[in-house]
Chains A and B, each alone.
Chain A
Amino acid sequence: MPVPDSFKEGLARGWKTYNGSRLDADLPLEADVAIVGSGAGGGTTAEILSAAGYKVLLIEEGPLKTSDDFKMLEDKAYAELYQEGIGRMSKDGAITIMQGRAVGGTTLINWTSSFRTPAPTLEHWAKEHGVQGHSPEEMAPWFERMEQRLGVAPWAVPPNANNAVISRGCEQLGYDWQVIPRNVRGCWNLGYCGMGCPTNAKQSMLVTTIPATLDKGGELLYLARAERLLIEGDQVTGIECLGMDERSVTPTGRKIRVKAKHYVLAGGGINTPGILLRSNAPDPHQRTGKRTFLHLVNFSAALFEQVINPFYGAPQSIYSDHFQWDDGAAGRLSYKLEVPPLQPALTATLLGRFGIDNALRMEQLPNTNVMLALLRDGFHPDSAEGRVELRGDGSPVLDYQMTDYTWDGVRRAFHSMAEIQFAAGAKAVLPLHADAGYVKTLKEARQLIDGLELALYRTRLGSAHVMGGCAMGEDPQQAVTDSLGRHHQLSNLSIHDGSLFPTSIGANPQLSIYGLTAKLSSLLAERLKNA
Chain B
Amino acid sequence: MHNTTLDSPQLSRRSLLKVGLLGSALLGTAGLTATLSGCSASTPKAGFAVLRESDLPFLEALIPVLLEGAVKPAQMPAAVGATIENLDYSLNHLSPEMLKLTVQLFDVLALPVTRGPLTGIWGSWQNASKVDVQQFLQRWQTSSFDLLKMGHASLLQLVMMAWYSRPESWAHCGYPGPPVV
Contact = CB atoms under 8 A, between A and B. Distances in A.
Interface of A: 3, 71-75, 78-80, 83-89, 91-94, 96, 188, 190, 192, 198-199, 247, 249-250, 311-312, 343-349, 352, 354-360, 362-363, 365-366, 391-393, 395, 397, 434, 456-457
Contacts of B18: none
A365 B95 contact: no
Nearest to B163: A348
Contacts of B3: 91-93
Given A78-B90, A79-B89, A354-B137, A199 B153 contact: no
Contacts of A199: 181
A484 to B, nearest CB: 33
B96 A360 contact: no
Nearest to B101: A93
B97 A395 contact: yes
Contacts of B160: 345, 348-349, 354, 358
A349 B157 contact: yes
B115 to A, nearest CB: 19
Interface stretch (B19-27, B30-38, B64-72, B121-129): B64-72
B34 to A, nearest CB: 19
B96 A72 contact: no
A93 B3 CA distance: 9
A2 to B, nearest CB: 8
Given A93-B150, A349-B157, 20 more contacts: A72-B179, A74-B161, A74-B165, A85-B93, A87-B94, A88-B95, A92-B1, A93-B3, A93-B146, A247-B92, A349-B156, A349-B160, A355-B134, A359-B68, A362-B164, A362-B173, A366-B173, A393-B97, A395-B96, A457-B146
A218 B93 CA distance: 30
Contacts of A3: 181
Closest 9 CB pairs of A and B: A359-B69, A85-B93, A72-B178, A75-B165, A79-B93, A84-B95, A87-B98, A93-B150, A356-B69
B173 A92 contact: no
A344 B170 contact: yes
Given A311-B175, A355-B65, A359-B70, A93 B154 contact: yes
A87 B91 CA distance: 9
B169 interface: yes
Contact of B175 (A78, A94, A365): A365
B86 interface: yes
A369 to B, nearest CB: 14
Contacts of A84: 94-95, 97-98
The winner among B70, B141, B160 for most chain A CB atoms within 10 A is B160
B52 interface: no
A362 B178 contact: no
B179 A190 contact: yes
A344 B98 contact: no
Interface of B: 1-3, 65-70, 86, 89-90, 92-99, 134, 137, 141, 146, 149-150, 152-154, 156-157, 160-165, 169-170, 172-175, 178-179, 181
Contacts of A83: 95
30 contacts: A72-B178, A73-B178, A74-B164, A75-B162, A79-B89, A80-B93, A83-B95, A87-B95, A91-B3, A92-B150, A199-B181, A345-B160, A345-B161, A345-B162, A347-B173, A348-B163, A348-B173, A355-B134, A358-B69, A358-B160, A359-B68, A362-B164, A363-B172, A366-B173, A366-B175, A393-B96, A395-B95, A456-B146, A457-B146, A457-B153
Nearest to B66: A354
A238 to B, nearest CB: 25
A198 B1 CA distance: 34
Contact of A85 (B1, B94, B153, B164): B94
Contacts of B70: 358-359, 362-363
A80 B160 CA distance: 19
B174 A363 contact: yes
B22 to A, nearest CB: 20
A60 B79 CA distance: 37
Contacts of A188: 181
B175 A344 contact: yes
The winner among B65, B86, B134, B178 for most chain A CB atoms within 10 A is B178
A190 B154 CA distance: 30
A89 B94 CA distance: 12
B130 to A, nearest CB: 9
Contacts of A89: 1, 98
Contact of B172 (A93, A311, A362, A395): A362
Nearest to A96: B157
Contacts of B153: 93-94, 457
B181 A190 contact: yes
Contacts of A346: 161
A79 B165 CA distance: 12
The winner among B67, B149, B170 for most chain A CB atoms within 10 A is B149
A91 B101 CA distance: 12
B36 to A, nearest CB: 22
